[in-house]
Amino acid sequence: MNFFKVLLSFFGFGTKPKINSQQAIPRDDYEYNELKKKKENQLDAILEKIAEKGIESLTRREKEFLDSQSN
């Protein structure tokens, strides 16, 4: 890697931001929108599972996620 690429990557340019769902505050709009979309998709999947199999079919993590999203 040449000096300029190292310098650009050091300041966060030219790299796609990594999405971490455990991160409290997104760095930018792109990351916020990706995180929001991921949570919406996960919520839709859980609600679909409830509709098909009932709430008793949820795992502990799914219940915790559902609870966190209801707040």
Beta strands in 12-53 (DSSP E): none
Give the integer Cα–Cα distance in Å for 13 and 58: 41
Cα atoms found within 13 Å of the Cα of residue 23, Cβ hemisphere only: 14
Q: Tell me what pLDDT residue 22 has.
A: 53
Q: Tell me what pLDDT residue 1 has.
A: 53
Determine the residue type at 21.
S
Query: pLDDT tens digits, the chain, 71 residues: what are they?
Result: 577 777 677 776 765 555 555 546 778 899 899 999 999 999 999 999 999 999 999 999 999 999 988 87
Give the integer Cα–Cα distance in Å for 13 and 50: 42
